Structure 1
Amino acid sequence: MNQPAAIPRKGRKYDQVLQGARDVFMAHGFEGASVDDIARKAGVSKATLYSYFPDKRLLFMEVARHGCARQADTAVTIASGCCDPETALREAGHHILSVILSEFGVKMFRICVAEADRFPDLGRRFYESGPATIRAQLREYLAEATSRGELRIDDLDLAADQFAELCRADMFLRLLFNIEAEIEPQERERVVDAAITTFLARYGALAASDEMAR
């Protein structure tokens, strides 16, 4: 199905409608969210809601677009040239977790999977606004650290993906399947520390030198 072509108009209650819709969509998904519930949550009439968004699909895509833009705006620039790889990777690891373990990240992932046929571009937009941005920054840092001799990496794309997966461990799945409601900070710290140790054991300059000496 093609995406709706209409552009939502802005107005005094636009943000109010958008926030109400976000709350309902995040709680119930696209199919389970009714216009009545959204209007009630936003504190507006259905007529007001339709004046901004005549199509529920348009409203949903606007909610997703705003959420993805907010996610992209929180991206940090991984420290480069000012600290050691362990410090830079710790910063990157915790930022990765702040995105994928966030309420928006988990719920949007569920919606992307459930609505893959209805909104084929949604998953791509979500990926490009968050995970892909972080991956590109991490790859750039790994390339610079390798050029300085701090790391020894041949396949930068693979190394960036491996580090991100090490940081996820099983925490994302535990949230995704509602095994746990949240991941405690000390658990995130434990997993990121282990990810750094494992990554540097494989790609650290000293580890690479030891491997070549054997």
Structure 2
Amino acid sequence: MAERVFLMRGFGATTMQVVAAEAGASKETLYRHFGSKGDLFAEVVGNRARLLREKLDADFDRPHAMAEVLRDLGTNLLTHMSGPEVMCLLRIVISEAPRDPDLGRIFFASGPERTRKRLAEYLEAARARGEFHGRSAALAANIFLAAVVGSLHMVNLTLHDPPVLTPAEIRERVDEAVAMFLNYYG
């Protein structure tokens, strides 16, 4: 409910009163559960990050070959990130982070940084299995994620009506990133 209100109105125009009315609750109840509008928004961002983490964690937890794990991870990441809700939330986080640095830290730690760390851990395990041959799993994780995401953030954050990646475009982009990664590190 609160996410929908923030997405429709943005952070500045959203009030606890509006969220309470949409939820059929009192403003006092919201303040009791969330000390401020910023705390409520941080919870919204955290919930969205948890949904993505569940999908991405499932990619790491399967006993498949590195190519398949990377392909699934890249596909899930791009599919999720290219959704309009995620881009809208990201725009709000970027615009509010200077006023509320904790919001930016929460987003970064629970989203991009956690994904990078999980991938680096996976690559270390792949090294032990003889599948990964890089010197630095952390650097390789950064490189793979950058290859998958590319300029998607900039396009989606700066264009009013950004083009939506089709499933075929996502597949092509991820396949190229995986092939490049395996060519160097595999």
> Which residues of structure 1 form unaligned runs of 5+?
1-18, 205-214
- Counterpart CA distance in 2 for 1:169 and 1:159 is 15
The residue that corresponds to 1:138 in the other structure is 119
Counterpart amino acid of residue 182 in structure 1: V
2:81 aligned with 1:100: yes
User: Does residue 1:25 correspond to 2:6, yes or no?
Assistant: yes
Alignment partner of 2:185 out of 200, 203, 209: 203
Give secondary structure in 1 for the equivalent of 2:58.
coil
Q: Residue 29 of structure 2 is aligned with which of 48, 51, 59?
A: 51
User: Among residues 103, 115, 130, which one is paired with 1:149 in the alignment?
Assistant: 130
- Following superposition of structure 1 onto structure 2, how do residues 176-191 of structure 1 map, counting pairs within 5 Å? 176-177=157-158, 178-180=160-162, 182-191=164-173
RMSD: 2.5
Aligned residues: 182
Shift in Å, 1:40: 4.6
Structure 2 match to 1:3: none
Identity %: 30
Of 39, 61, 68, 1:87 maps to 68
Cα separation, 2, equivalents of 1:82 and 1:61: 34
Equivalent position SS for 1:78: helix
TM-score (norm 2): 0.82
The 2-side partners of 1:150 and 1:64 are apart by 35
Q: What is the CA–CA distance in structure 2 between the aligned matches of 1:81 and 1:185, rounded to whole Å?
A: 23
TM-score by length of 1: 0.72
Are the structure 2 counterparts of residues 50 and 168 from structure 1 closer, same or farther at C-alpha, using a change threshold of 3 Å?
Answer: same
CA positional deviation for 1:203 = 1.2
Deviations along 1:78-115, one digit per CA (max 9) or x if unpaired, are 35783332212101211222443233432222112111
State yes or no: 1:127 paired with 2:108.
Answer: yes
Give structure 2 stretches of 5+ with no counterpart: none
Counterpart pick for 1:63 among 38, 44, 47: 44
Specify the alignment match of 1:194 in structure 2: 176
**Between Structure 1 and Structure 2, which shows a larger proportion of helix residues?**
2
Asked if 1 retains the 8 angstrom alpha-carbon contact of 2:7 and 2:85, the reply is yes
> Are the counterparts in 1 of residues 53 and 111 from structure 2 also a CA contact under 8 Å?
yes
Deviation at 1:198, TM superposition (A): 1.1
> How does 1:4-19 map onto structure 2 within 5 Å?
19=1
Contact preservation (8 Å) 2:49, 2:111:
yes
Q: Would you identify which runs of 4 or more consecutive aligned residues in structure 1 move more than 6 Å? A: none
1-side partners of 2:153 and 2:114: how far apart?
19
